[in-house]
Structure 1
Amino acid sequence: MSAHADLNGALDALHDKLKSLNDLVRANQFMVEAMAGQGEQLKQMSSDRTRDMLRRQARARFHPETGSAPDAAVLAILEEVLGHQQESAEIIPFPVRA
């Protein structure tokens, strides 16, 4: 019974990590698509306007109630990254192995 519980716990932990990784992949995919499709327009904007525009687009796509592809976890990642005062939008780094 203990081995079964240990296996279930390990599978649950793996599932959670895979879900987090998938959320990061989807957030990065959004950023890559935005840069590829709107790169020239984004380069001409101020960093604040760029972040605001990307945040609006992220909300339109990932908002859990009104988005075209609702996903609260992905939206939370993008809100965090785009909410920082940085000079340019960057690919979101994957977490390092612990």
Structure 2
Amino acid sequence: MSGTNEMQSALGALDEKLDALDTMTEVNSFLVSALREHEQELIRMSPQETREMLRQKARAYYRVDGGERPNPKALDLLEKTLGNGHTAEIIQFPGRR
């Protein structure tokens, strides 16, 4: 039984990592598309204006109540990443601990 529990625990941990990776991949894809689509506008914007524009686009795209592609995990990650003090850079996948 112990082997079964360990296997289930390991699979659960892998599922969590895959879910996080899926969310990060989705968010990075969104950011790359937005940066390409609005490249000229973004060049003229301040970092704060850039973050605000990307947050607005993310909310319209990922919000649960009527977004183009509802995804609360992606929206939460973008809200945290694009908050004050952060940059609109590609989100790095966390390294090994």
Tell whether the structures are fold-level matches, with TM greater than 0.5.
yes
Give the equivalent residue in structure 2 for 1:39.
39
Give the equivalent residue in structure 1 for 2:17.
17
Given that residues 48 and 84 in structure 2 are in contact (C-alpha distance below 8 angstroms), is that contact kept between their aligned partners in structure 1? no
* 1:67 pairs with 2:71: no
Which runs of 5 or more structure 2 residues have no equivalent in the other structure?
none
Paired residues in the alignment total 97
Deviation at 1:97, TM superposition (A): 1.0
In 1, the alpha carbon distance for the partners of 2:16 and 2:81 equals: 21
Give the equivalent residue in structure 1 for 2:77.
77
Aligned-partner residue type, residue 63 of structure 1 = R
Aligned-partner residue type, residue 28 of structure 2 = N
Normalised to the residue count of structure 2, the TM-score between the two structures is 0.91
Q: Which runs of 4+ in 1 moved over 3 A?
A: none
Aligned-partner residue type, residue 25 of structure 1 = T
Give the equivalent residue in structure 1 for 2:93.
94
Deviation at 1:54, TM superposition (A): 0.6
Percent identical residues: 39
Deviation at 1:81, TM superposition (A): 1.1
In 2, the alpha carbon distance for the partners of 1:13 and 1:85 equals: 31
Deviation at 1:46, TM superposition (A): 2.0
In 2, the alpha carbon distance for the partners of 1:17 and 1:84 equals: 27
